[in-house]
Structure 1
Amino acid sequence: MRHLVIAVISLSLTGCGVVYHPSAVRPGVSQQAKVRIEPITANTLMAANAAPYTPRRLPAAFNRTAGLGAGSIAAIAPPVAALERPTRPETPARHLPPPLPARPYKIGVGDVVLLATPASSPTADPASAGAARTSRQGYRVQDDGTISIPNVGRIAIAGLTVGDAEARVFKSFLDTQIDPAFSLEIAEFNARKVTIGGAVGAPSVVPVTLQPLYLDAALAAVGGTGAVDPASASVRLYRDGTLYQVPLSDVYQNRGAARLQLAPGDSLFVDAGFDLDRAEAYFRQQITLAQFKQSERGARLDALSQAVALRRAELTEARETFATRLTLGAEARDYVYLTGEVRTPARYPLPFEQTASLADALYDAGGGIPVARANPKEIYVLRGSDHPMEYDAVTAWHLDARNAAALVLATRFELRPGDVIFVAAQPVANWSNVIDGLTPSLLNSSLRAATN
């Protein structure tokens, strides 16, 4: 009975003229084109990829930032020229300050000095005799730069080194006929400080003591830089009206940058991602509090802020305009086309600034190769000739993927604008398409004829 049904269906197809014509790539010369089939192998892959092609580039607005360039704020003019940056924003510019000369610490307002003098009264307790031999008293340096010692008076020591201050106190003791047996040291360092903010664990101030304060130690004192990318982060140092910049990667890798000595009054800002709004707010605060009281410098910083905002708005508008034009199809794009037995016949846009492979198009835009319908033996990339006298010449680059290892070649085969990717159907799929073309009434009539 099964053979009879098949025979009836075949006769019905012949009588009704139902014929399925599958697409295929055939070599030779036809009315449309001259087709030459070339297998894709490790040897021919280089020839296929040798076709000249330069991927389209994104507009320049995508390769620029509104970042603050290194250099002096006072020298920022004009704003547009000052905001020019390298083409790789992830590598901040390096602009280190000159080395600091070796200078001893000078006592300042707010420091607490400690005077250790012999005890005025003996003690009968041997256990506490050692502690009673000296009396230690701390004195804070007042706003006028002096300390006030009972029975001695006010002594000006601000701006003096520890040795010079000790000599002046010694003289004052002698002038008041007091035993000058004492020692002087600094108990609290409050006058000389470095301010640190930005992407650090705990933004605060770090005192400058008798020992030099280096950049790595200062960052460690505020909890480190946290989870930031050293390749794009930088440490901005403001000193004496000049802005310097140290890439954070230099701090981690270059011992010279890590051992950069800081000076009292320095302001540091760790910029983790070119967040200039935070940097601007930080430096504005420093200007308001201590460093920038001159109106001219404030006006220049305002001009810099406005220039950065205008630059950022210009770049944002240019990028949004490009994205809108791209969506509306107003920007030129390069495409390849997928047809045949792919899951989704489509027009695949080639990416900007890089090439795409045959595998990219098949498994991205085409959705992969359907095993039930596609013939892995017959995968083609049809590429026309660019020569004016050979517009009808087509090279069909043929990939036989019956061995799945051949798909590695698909990841290395570079596509060119106008390529057509064609996947042929399996023979069983051709027969399925024939069956799908029959109407239910034709099948029913054929079956009734067979049973009668």
Structure 2
Amino acid sequence: MAQRYKTFIASACFLAMSGCTIIPGGHFEGLKQGEQTENLEKELAKVNIQLIDSALISQQKDLNKKTAAEIGASNSSKNIAGLDLSNYEYKLGVGDVLTIGVWDHPELTIPAAVQRTAEFDGFRVQADGTITYAYAPKVPAAGKTVAEVREELVKRLSRVIEDPQIDVKVVGFRSQKAYVTGEVKKPGVYPVTETPLTLIDALNQAGGLNERADWKTVTFTRGNETEVIRLDDFYSKGDISQNRLLQHGDIVHVTRNDQRNVYVLGDVKRAGTVEVNRYGLNLAEALSEVGGIDERSADANGIFVLRKRDLEKDGVIADVYQLHAKNVAALVLAEQFELDPQDIVYVTSAPLARWNKVISLLLPALTTVDRLQDIDNQ
């Protein structure tokens, strides 16, 4: 069946090259007629064509289950049960402010004032990384935990006070910050404190993602290294390995979902783009978003999905899926067929002849769109 479709498509390419453009603006400049026809014949030989049927849907589901199982196995092999925060201890830095109190020695404790805050009256970690307290000058604090600073103060004050009971608290976290930018409701700077701050925590503090956020490509930058966090895998598949414990200077950036669209063209009520949200998008939803197919002219057996592939990696330029939608069962298949971002859905008025002309325009369009996106990203 696939070979038969390819034969029809290849033969129809010559008609498509005659200047009968199906999509407005679909003509591509810069190629001569003979050169364009020859190139398209070669490209069409690298197209996979499949029917959207129960077997394909089952294959999709099995692939999703396999991916989820691989994530679970990966987490298990790494002994990942979530971020281990049980041993987390905040390390002081320059600019942090401490309050220090000594029990039974009020002369060593700054009294609270109505007009002043504890941070105002506290002891700030100086540029040299130290704090100075009564009988304890130049106590190293930067890079130390509160417990370590308390231990050092007890050691020094023991010279003048018998068995000093000292209380040390951080009242101003000023030395360490993480940044949340991009498509969140409250982008900004968030302090790293004695309470562990994870990537998910930071996004929640930023009010969560807004409507234009891309759930799949959240970037996490630490120093000179940047990695992509698949936030959708965290929420939908329980992939806890996507979470991170934030440190000073970390940047979490949520990109826009400009490229997370599906294009619906052809004999539909309102041709255009449909957004793929965090919950995904199936073929039935995409057609519904554009008002459905035009029943006066569209052929229900001519619903196609064009999906780009990596030619260098797979040896295939695109996958083409066809839905025979003239029976009720097809509606169930359309509801179960998940679309990927940048898919092109095309509804023909004649299942083969019209599609043969259109595919000759859509195939080079995939390359053109990629080039434009590459230019935008530079």
Shorter-chain TM-score: which interval?
Answer: 0.3 to 0.5
With a CA cutoff of 8 Å and minimum separation of 6, indicate the structure with the bigger relative contact order. 1
TM-score if structure 2 supplies the norm length? Answer: 0.42
Rg: which structure is higher? Answer: 1
